[in-house]
Structure 1
């Protein structure tokens, strides 16, 4: 796929061998395309060239590295970030990355890794999961215990890539074709975003620039419901303030771009808050291509906005991506 203007994929994963992605995917009711495994940068580059993607911002799947808190978790985060940085160095101009952190409630370790990843490895920002922990012990990312990390993210004006965790609901997923990544992950992104809003954390840390994966999951359709019912249930914000805070997120198009969803996004958020993403290599290049064509078709009559969605908005959010173009 060739195009005249630049394309930056802000939602592009890295699957290190230690992740054992094939087995992990099967456990949540999904099949990672076998041609993408074992993953390597060359696998992504081949797909990027086919899709007309000039640069991809790499991130680990949500919740990687997994817990528990301790030396192993801290060491894994460091190793994964160094690996991502080396890929970026090996292929200048083609890759950037969002850093992973140790479990954020491991405050000192998370803050140290945040500083190292951004200041030394030159990460574009950090990737966070919607929640951390298992079962009744899980806490959403707006929990008070994570405030020290949010305070530092806010102080730095950090870009945060927020992705729903692969958490099963209280009932099994309904069908073999409707596994957790299809039915639950989008709702986890919404729940994390809603938690940040109604808890006041989105407003308390206004300098953080949070990208919601998959057009926010179910956020666009449920934000008005939160605005009225959460106010009724004790949220201190007025409905208009709640909606305003939902509009202050950024939203990527990965696995979500369609005439209906893009129209909803256009009506709800500022146009400079829509970013392009593919979710490769979790999906095949053909699947990513279907959503990419939907983006191009939707904005076909507005080339200026198409350019902004494909790359301009990402560069405004992460200006160093523009410098990478000539690397």
Structure 2
């Protein structure tokens, strides 16, 4: 199978053997750390993945605006580009940007990453700085440039704690909070009119958009009541212009809901490896295989054809 995995992370050595556990409450599988391309290649072979699109976990590179943050983004992008050069049939990448509050730095990195390094798109976090949403007016010049380029954006929820106490140890921020941060970023883009303002940016929402397909109708009516100038139907239409990756989300329940929400051309295969084990990915992949059994056309679209069209891989 020629699956294309649009949600596949590079874990920098700085994350260390503990993975993300110390900060956000997640046990990265020990066998995936320290990460190397060879670890991913082994998993890809087991999962039937021909090509993985690499990206940093959301929130990285961390740090305030400044030369160190710019240098960290450049270092990652050049490292990712080198991996792709070493394994041209197996990897491509979404470039990261320095802190979006650094407008000149972000714009310069977009140009370098897309024009020189040939990144397939830009990975963005749901929030930056002092919890500024990705659609904040301060970031308009970045979005305008991405729209001018008709770029692909991979939008992933940030590791942001909720207002409630820290989640149960069996859950953790990546399990319960990150998908909802993805939804909130998507909702902000829609109700602020920016999804409509920048129609040529092609945005992929991680993890089936979190709660997006289930809460979009809530936004359509209640945000209109709160002053959003878009009609109920326009809000729903704008939510349906996102793309959605299947990572850690494939089940008969969720895929049935997505089929009622968008057509199959909006869905893309993803794994979230190496944050999770091959065995974990296999459970979700088995669910997707079973759901699309008997519908070969949709199956091929979701597994690789949509990504091939969107990302030219």
How high is the TM-score relative to the length of structure 1? Answer: 0.94
- In the alignment, what sits opposite 1:125? 121
Partner residue in 1 for 2:10: 14
Q: Distance in 2 between matches of 1:24 and 1:16?
A: 11
Pairs within 5 Å for 1:1-327: 3=1, 6-20=2-16, 22-133=18-129, 137-319=130-312, 321=313
Match of 1:324 in 2: none
CA apart distance, 1:170:
1.4
Q: Aligned pairs, how many?
A: 313
Q: Distance in 1 between matches of 2:107 and 2:78?
A: 16
Mapped to 1, the partners of 2:64 and 2:136 lie a distance apart of 18
- CA 1:162 to 1:21, structure 2 compared with 1: closer, same or farther past 3 Å? farther
Deviation, 1:24, is: 3.0
Contact 2:19 2:28 in 1 (8 A): no
Contact 2:16 2:33 in 1 (8 A): no
CA RMSD for the aligned pairs?
0.9
Structure 1 gaps of 5+ residues are 322-327
CA separation of 1:21 and 1:217: change in aligned 2, threshold 3 A: farther
Q: CA deviation at 1:63?
A: 1.2
Cα shift at 1:173? 2.9
| Structure 1 runs (4+) greater than 6 angstroms displaced | none
Runs of 5+ consecutive residues of structure 2 not aligned to the other structure: none
Look up the SS of the partner of 1:65 in the other structure.
coil
Contact 1:130–1:162, Cα closer than 8 Å, also in 2 = yes
Question: Within 1, Cα distance between the matches of 2:311 and 2:75?
Answer: 24
Decide whether the 8 Å contact of 2:7 with 2:270 is kept in 1: yes
Deviations 1:140-191 (A, max 9, x none): 0010000000000000000000000000011223311010000000000000
Superposed displacement of residue 240, structure 1: 0.4
Partner of 1:325: none
| TM-score, normalised with respect to structure 2 | 0.98
Any idea what SS the aligned residue of 1:172 has? coil
